[in-house]
Amino acid sequence: MIGALAAVGGLAAVGASLRWNWWRPPVSEGIPTLMYHKFGDPPRGSTLAKLWVAAADFRRQMRYLKERGYTTLTFTELRDIELGKLQRPAKPCLVTVDDGYENNYTVAYPIVKELGLKFNIFLVYETIESYNSWHNPQGEHWIPMMTWAQIREMQDSGHCEFGSHTMRHKNLPQVSLEDAKWEIEESKKKIEEKLGREMVGFAYPYGAGAYDPAVRALARNAGYRYDFGIRQGISPFPWDPEKHGPIKRLFIRGDDTMLDFHLQMTRGKAYF
């Protein structure tokens, strides 16, 4: 009986080793960059339910950052550190959110503000004050995006900075280079006009084009300091755009446990 239990325990340990990356050495350098999308409970029938992070889970994750001494930065602060205008904190990190859903304002923003943290949101310009029109509503419900009033309030609070996620959330390698150029450059111009400040960060919709030399050249030439893909991992900091490629991110899923989150932050990857 004891031997059987030991065998079961051994199998469980092997299973955990296969499921989680706890055995990998910690990543002591670089800048962990979290990637979120939606906050709250997913609508019934959503095919992208894992993109929704519950409010309670997000609060636990943000409290983890605060209690472990991470300094959450805006894109501009990150650039100012590189330029020597700000002192580099001991444990810098970025919290990023793609798309700009209204729940970023109603759910995530109050938590970030309450805990005294900062985050960054990539906006899809033509969907602001509208809905997520790039999704097929049969698989992912159309829901409200943020308004300009909400965006300005968040920016004025000092707890949030915004970046571009193109004009219409197009898969950039699937459109002409001329159209991709317009998506990248026009969104920067339009958001800057609306918010009265430079757009420092850009994220490729679906991560598509981040490693396509022609598409990435458009983003770099548009004047963004930082471009973000969706490749998993922790990028070095200071960051060299030519040497290191687009900034890697840690995709936070709605079904992640706090063990998953801890391994993301410390190993750059929680599971296979």
Tens of pLDDT along 84-116?
999 999 999 999 999 999 999 999 999 999 999
Rounded average pLDDT over 18-44: 80
When pLDDT is averaged across residues 225-253 and rounded to a whole number, the result is: 96
pLDDT class of 139 with cuts at 50, 70, 90: confident
What does the pLDDT read at residue 24? 66
CATH of domain 27-267: 3.20.20.370
pTM as predicted: 0.91
Confidence tier at 29 by pLDDT (50, 70, 90): confident
Q: What is the 3-state secondary structure (H, E, C) of the chain?
A: CHHHHHHHHHHHHHHHHHHECCCCCCCCCCECEEEECEECCCCCCCCCHHHEECHHHHHHHHHHHHHCCCEEECHHHHHHHHCCCCCCCCCEEEEEEEECEHHHHHHHHHHHHHCCCCEEEEECHHHCCCECCCCCCCCCCCCEECCHHHHHHHHHHCCEEEEECCCCCCCHHHCCHHHHHHHHHHHHHHHHHHHCCCCCEEECHHHCCCCCHHHHHHHHHCCCCEEEEEEECCECCCCCHHHHCCEEEEECCCCCCHHHHHHHHHHCCCEC
Q: What is the pLDDT of residue 73?
A: 98
Q: pLDDT tier at 1 (50, 70, 90 boundaries)?
A: very low
Residue 23 has a pLDDT of 58
Query: Mean pLDDT throughout 27-54?
Result: 91
- What average pLDDT does range 109-136 have in this prediction? 96
Q: Where are the domains of the chain?
A: 27-267
Q: Indicate whether 3 pLDDT > 90.
A: no
Residue 221 reports pLDDT greater than 50: yes
Quote the pLDDT of residue 106.
98
Q: Is the pLDDT assigned to residue 185 strictly greater than 70?
A: yes
In this prediction, what percent of the chain has a pLDDT beyond 90? Answer: 82
pLDDT (tens digit per residue) in 71-85: 999 999 999 999 999
Question: Given a cut of 80, is residue 157 above it in pLDDT?
Answer: yes
Please report the pLDDT score of residue 5 as a whole number: 35
pLDDT at 38: 97
